[in-house]
Amino acid sequence: MPNENDWPRGHRKRLRNRYTHGGFAALTQVEKVELILGPSRPHIDLREVAVALLERFGSLEGILEAGYEDLQQVNGVGEAVAFHIALTLPLSREYARLQQTAKPILRNTEQTIAYVQTLEVSQDNETLWLMLTNAHFQLKRCIKLHEGTLTAVHFAPGTIVKHAIRHGAAHVFLVHSHTVETASPSPSDIQATAVVAEALKSVDINLVDHIIIARAGHFSFYQNNMLHGTTPALLQKAAAPAIPFRLFDTP
């Protein structure tokens, strides 16, 4: 039995790592097809099959739309591989349908707050939520990134970027809770927001808003024009020094 360091499993592990760190866009067309085929024949080198499929059907789209019998005409594609490919597109369409019916649109702060109110927000510890949307502001994923202490929640900006890339987000909303009455941002809140905005900008993803919620209400960085300027402008508002792990904390 081959191990993860042998071909082809070592090759697939490298592809999985590239996908994990860079998303689907980091892969070539052949590599995308290889990953799709992988579960159907876990111990076989499928690169030549992937190339043959692309030559026959012209593109990844053509492969996914090909008929079950047509797929089996390609050398190396048996019933199991053909079935696996044929199942991929209907499954993707079903997922898209469920997204359309179950995922809200977050076009403004009020809509975002309304959705946040449906979440479990801790009253005892500061909590950070990451909300990822597509280009049309439809929610793709809501992630409880971290629950901290009574006065702070720690996080790494790179973690936010990684989640955004992995889930194909076009826009990002940050939501975090204060355990005190006031929702006013602390210097660390301001600095952390600037760092996250810059990190996301470097991969062409937009930080739309950072919303702080508290017992007495909420504070929106977007509504208070604190995301319209450059990162240096935001940093000038912050008194807290740069630290390896950024910190949202209660003032």
Say yes or no: 55 and 90 in one domain: yes
Q: Tell me the residue range of the domain where 203 lies.
A: 109-249
Give the distance from CA 32 to its chain's centroid: 18
pLDDT at position 162 is: 92
Q: Which pLDDT does position 126 carry in this prediction?
A: 76
**pLDDT tens figures, 148-171:** 554 455 667 888 999 999 999 999
Residue 226 belongs to some domain of the structure = yes
Sheet of strand 139-147: strand arrangement: 139-147, 127-133, 171-177, 206-214, 217-220
Residue 95 is assigned to a structural domain of this protein: yes
pLDDT given at position 210:
92
Q: Are residues 129 and 230 in the same domain?
A: yes
Do 95 and 118 fall within a single domain? Answer: no
Ranges in the chain, pLDDT < 70 = 1-9, 42-43, 96-102, 119-124, 148-155, 228-251
Is 3 inside a domain boundary? no
Question: Structural domain tally of the chain?
Answer: 2
Q: What global pTM score does this model have?
A: 0.54
Same domain, 114 and 91: no
Q: What is the pLDDT of residue 41?
A: 73
* Boundary (domain end) residue, out of 69, 102, 135: 102
Q: CATH number of the domain at 44, please.
A: 1.10.150.20
Tokens representing residue 43 in the block = 């111990």
* Residue among 201, 182, 192 at smallest CA distance from 226: 192
CATH of the domain at 219: 3.40.140.10
Task: Say yes or no: 156 and 213 in one domain.
Answer: yes
Regarding whether 80 and 118 lie in a shared domain, the answer is no
Say yes or no: 90 and 126 in one domain: no
Of 72, 102, 132, the position where a domain reaches its end is 102
